[in-house]
Amino acid sequence: DAGVIQSPRHEVTEMGQEVTLRCKPISGHNSLFWYRQTMMRGLELLIYFNNNVPIDDSGMPEDRFSAKMPNASFSTLKIQPSEPRDSAVYFCAGRAGQGNNEQFFGPGTRLTVL
């Protein structure tokens, strides 16, 4: 198993541009999480999906952020328009089931918005 796959690994864009981050969770993991990590705020949960349904998006900072999970093997996090303060490392993580709390993280996407 290749583990959680995220793409791109690095993204540099200019303010105002649309950014789309992608995640492929481990097969069979029916819970998916998007996190953002910065030096100032640490690791923050943005949104949680269970069985492809968004359950908790209270961590999504603004309407500029949106996330989708069209099927069990793919999720996207979109920022439109991007701003310099969105610069961070974005992680996708999966979990096998609600009775199992261990989360499996992807390698992250380092986003820089100029």
Partner 1 sequence: SQQGEEDPQALSIQEGENATMNCSYKTSINNLQWYRQNSGRGLVHLILIRSNEREKHSGRLRVTLDTSKKSSSLLITASRAADTASYFCATDARDSSYKLIFGSGTRLLVRP
Binding site for partner 1 (CB under 8 A): 4, 31, 42-43, 45, 48, 50, 55-56, 91, 93, 95, 98, 101-108
Minimum gap (Å) between residue 36 Cβ and partner 1: 11
Coil/strand/helix, residue 26: coil
Query: Distance between CA atoms of 112 and 114, rounded to whole angstroms?
Result: 6
- Between the alpha carbon of residue 84 and those of residues 17, 64, 81, 110, the distances in Å are 11, 13, 10, 13
Minimum gap (Å) between residue 109 Cβ and partner 1: 10
Closer by beta carbon to partner 1, 20 or else 103: 103
Closer by beta carbon to partner 1, 74 or else 104: 104
Minimum gap (Å) between residue 8 Cβ and partner 1: 14
Minimum gap (Å) between residue 63 Cβ and partner 1: 22
- Between the alpha carbon of residue 26 and those of residues 58, 76, 86, the distances in Å are 24, 15, 26
Residue type, 29: H
